[in-house]
Amino acid sequence: MKITAIKGFSDILPGEVEIWQAVEAKARQVFNAYNFAEIRIPILEKTELFSRSIGETTDIVEKEMYTFEDSGGDSLTLRPEATAGIARALISNGLLRGARLKLWTAGPMFRHERPQAGRFRQFHQFSVEAVGFTGPDVDAELIALGARLWQRLGITRVRLVLNSLGTSAARAQYRSALQAYFQAHESALDADSRRRLQGNPLRILDSKNPALRVLIDAAPVLTDYLDDESRQHFDSLRAMLDGIGVAYTINPRLVRGLDYYSRTVFEWITDALGAQDAVCSGGRYDGLIGQLGGEATPAVGFALGIERVVELIRQAGTVAAARPPAVYVIASGAGAEARALALAEQLREALPGQGVHMNLGGGNFKAQFRRADRSGACLALILGDAELGRGVAALKPLRREAGQSECPLADLPSRVGKMLQEESWTST
């Protein structure tokens, strides 16, 4: 029996991993440009962390978590998202105390959902969080950071949707109004929505059932229940986004699936990925840290789904393939092969930014030249026993018509460095 992978868990293979590396490198640059520091947190946390933060009646906690008991009897969960873990890390490391922190992390998340295009059980996110700022300036900056990331990645088919949820008091009022409304129409609801009616009526608004569309469209609107301060916060945020030229639309039905949000919520959505239209989602979570036992600290952040971004880039074709090596080392003959290994080491020592690809497993010159060509290398270094006897190796540019020249073995590192420069070959 052939061993298989777990359903919904994917391998990221060479050929595709280059897009991931480009996304990671550019994201890192952008995070630095906005002065966000990296934090790395565990993949496994106590189950309680997620049930207390994400909310007992959310899809994630109700049915999507990978939860198990370890041999010590503790209930542990593979993280379904990173915000709760970051909040926990700030509390457990005593980093709050009025601090203002801008942090990001990246890595795998785990949700037991039905696997399909754009939806996996292990997927990856960037999570970007600003803690200790009441906003709305920091809300605007986070959104600007997202916009800059799209620009750097060459992604154009995304747009920003924005809403405000108000304070939790305002939301509680709205919740009652919504509950009353749906209760009055209970017979028209589907089973899922009827179940949500008591626990979390806001989630009925998220329903994808087309039969409920008209009913949902006529439901009370959150915007009408906003408290004055939240309204001001939202108006200022909008003015700031206008000021920096970030376009958005307001969707009063955007409520987000997680319980911990307050005031600003936003989503970058795309029309290029079919049913999975959310690429990046976030919002303000002023109550979360206090709820987890930390000192009350306002915070705002977003999570970006890397698989969906990689897919957008693949569609746009804006990322180059893997970088070929600078030098391919060809050697034939027992003495030459042994010496070539040492020469390749010398080149790697002298030219740390350059790829040096050693021909492995022998082969005649013709076969090795063919491999060198296919590797995309800039130069071939050729060593046979005859050259070795004379204390030289041959060098040949591969990316244009050119003859080969000989070089004393001792001069190889500097000569190769010079030739790469002449060929305008940049380091990896």
Binding region for ligand ATP (CB under 6 A)? 81, 111, 113, 119-120, 123, 125, 257, 276, 278-281, 303, 305, 307-308
Q: Are 262 and 285 in contact (CB under 8 A)?
A: yes
Q: Which is nearer to ligand ATP, 119 or 175 (CB)?
A: 119
Identify the DSSP state of 293.
Answer: T
- β-strand partners of 46: 76
Output 57 or 375, the one with its CB closest to ligand ATP. 57
From residue 22, alpha-carbon distances to 18, 26, 154, 214, 314 in Å are: 6, 6, 11, 43, 12
Q: With respect to ligand ATP, which residue has the nearer C-beta, 160 or 351?
A: 160
User: Minimal distance in Å, beta carbon 83 to ligand ATP?
Assistant: 9
Tell me the closest approach of the beta carbon of residue 116 to ligand ATP, in angstroms. Answer: 9
Comparing CB distances to ligand ATP, the nearer of 116 and 151 is: 116
3-state secondary structure of 228: helix
Q: 174: part of which helix (H) or strand (E)?
A: helix 168-184
Residue written as token pair 């915007």: 223
- Look up tokens 């005649």; give the residue: 364
Closest C-alpha among 326, 338, 334, 337 to residue 413: 326
**Assign residue 79 a region: left if phi > 0, alpha if psi is -120 to 50, beta otherwise?**
beta
Question: CA 123 to CA 240: how far, in whole Å?
Answer: 33
Smallest distance from the beta carbon of 191 to ligand ATP, in angstroms?
Answer: 20
Between 230 and 281, CB nearer to ligand ATP: 281
Q: Which residue is nearest to ligand ATP (CB)?
A: 305
User: Count of CB atoms within 10 A of residue 123's CB?
Assistant: 21
Least Å from the CB of residue 358 to ligand ATP: 39
The residue to which tokens 């090596």 are assigned: 325
Q: What are the phi and psi torsion angles at 381 (to 5°)? A: -110, 125
Q: Which CB atom, from 161 or from 392, has the smaller least distance to ligand ATP?
A: 161
Token output for 243: 């000021």
Q: Rank residues 212 and 398 by Cβ distance to ligand ATP and give the closer one.
A: 212
